[in-house]
């Protein structure tokens, strides 16, 4: 590479860093706490009309938070809402996906024991190193414990299961299940009323993960993205609709492959027009189809 080309790369990298700094401006509305059922809350951030949900499990022995969300101000506001309403200390942070909209503000939980899937830790380290996150912040964001397939622990007499059923939105997503209360927190494994984002996802495996989640003995499935109905039991039907998007994409690509289609031909043929009104359809349809094509062909990394 010439010196000029090298400087250009550096300038572009700096411009990119400045743009992502700008993107990190906290929204004016820092979010709201809602009780779903006794002992279970969701803190929802509305950022540019997209909803991001963090789960909160409240017990007499303290609180567990599921996903720290993005922006220091938002995470601080969530902790303040917990202090004001639940009046118990936060004991655990369970981090499901390493993407910044869900755990970018995990340093606000520096004082809290953090748990994540082992692939979360790998993904987080890689992302923080590429983002030049300062070493002290990197330390504050790291999980104190990781698990591989499942971890069960107890808080306030309740059994809490952390479950990893395979690749879905990332290689290290955690689904949190409280059997006694028949509730599941799903983070970005569940995009409600949005087209799923698959920039680093695995659509074929994702359907299997959703089938395993649906088989859990539960009534309420909390999405990472999108609204939670007034009657939270309606989330089971919403989860089925989210699954159907992936099934339609998978089956469409599968039938194209059966006819000998190339990746480009499959993308052109599988329209998924029934989902065209969903958020992110415009930029994710092709991403989803291309990754599913490669996954079905066995060439996806
Ligand atoms: Zn994500």
Q: Let me know: does 108 contact 72? Beta carbons within 8 Å.
A: yes
Task: Give every CB contact of residue 75 below 8 A, 6+ residues apart in sequence.
Answer: 68, 69, 105, 106, 108, 109
What would the pLDDT profile of 139-151 be if each residue is shown by its tens digit? 999 999 999 999 9
- Model pLDDT, residue 267: 98
Give 51 Cα–ligand 1 centroid separation in angstroms: 13
Give 97 Cα–ligand 1 centroid separation in angstroms: 7
- Model pLDDT, residue 24: 65
Give 5 Cα–ligand 1 centroid separation in angstroms: 32
Give 61 Cα–ligand 1 centroid separation in angstroms: 31
- Model pLDDT, residue 17: 43
- Model pLDDT, residue 19: 41
What would the pLDDT profile of 13-41 be if each residue is shown by its tens digit? 444 444 444 456 889 899 999 999 999 99
- Model pLDDT, residue 26: 87
pTM for the model: 0.92
- Model pLDDT, residue 23: 52
Regions of the chain short of the pLDDT cut 70: 1-24
Question: How many angstroms separate the most distant Cα atoms in the chain?
Answer: 64
Within 135-277, where are the H helices? 135-141, 203-214, 235-258, 263-269
Give 27 Cα–ligand 1 centroid separation in angstroms: 19
Domains annotated on the chain, with CATH: 26-232 (3.60.15.10)
């Amino acid at each position: 590479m010439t010196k000029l080309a090298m400087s250009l790369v550096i300038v572009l990298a700096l411009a990119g860093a400045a743009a992502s700094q700008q993107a990190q401006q906290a929204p004016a509305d820092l979010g709201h706490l809602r009780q779903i059922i006794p002992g279970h809350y969701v803190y929802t951030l509305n950022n540019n009309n997209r909803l991001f949900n963090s789960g909160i499990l409240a017990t007499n022995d303290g609180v567990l938070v599921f996903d720290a969300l993005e922006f220091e101000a938002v995470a601080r506001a969530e902790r303040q809402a917990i202090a004001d309403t639940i009046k118990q200390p936060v004991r655990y942070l369970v981090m499901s996906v390493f993407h910044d909209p869900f755990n970018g503000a995990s340093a606000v939980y520096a004082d809290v024991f953090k748990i994540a899937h082992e692939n979360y830790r790998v993904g987080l380290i890689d992302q923080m190193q590429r983002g030049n996150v300062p070493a002290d912040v990197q330390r504050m964001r790291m999980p104190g414990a990781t698990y591989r397939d499942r971890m069960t622990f107890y808080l306030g007499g309740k059994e809490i299961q952390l479950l990893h059923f395979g690749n879905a939105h990332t290689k290290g997503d955690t689904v949190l299940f409280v059997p006694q209360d028949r509730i599941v927190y799903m983070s970005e494994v569940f995009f409600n009323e949005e087209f799923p984002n698959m920039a680093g996802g695995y659509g074929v495996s994702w359907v299997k993960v959703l089938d395993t989640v649906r088989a859990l003995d539960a009534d309420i499935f909390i999405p990472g993205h999108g609204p939670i109905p007034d009657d939270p039991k309606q989330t089971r039907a919403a989860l089925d609709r989210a699954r159907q998007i992936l099934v339609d994409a998978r089956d469409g690509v599968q039938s194209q492959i059966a006819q000998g289609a190339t990746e480009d031909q499959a993308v052109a043929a599988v329209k998924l027009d029934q989902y065209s009104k969903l958020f992110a359809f415009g930029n994710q349809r092709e991403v989803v189809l291309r990754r599913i094509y490669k996954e079905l062909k066995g060439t996806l990394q």
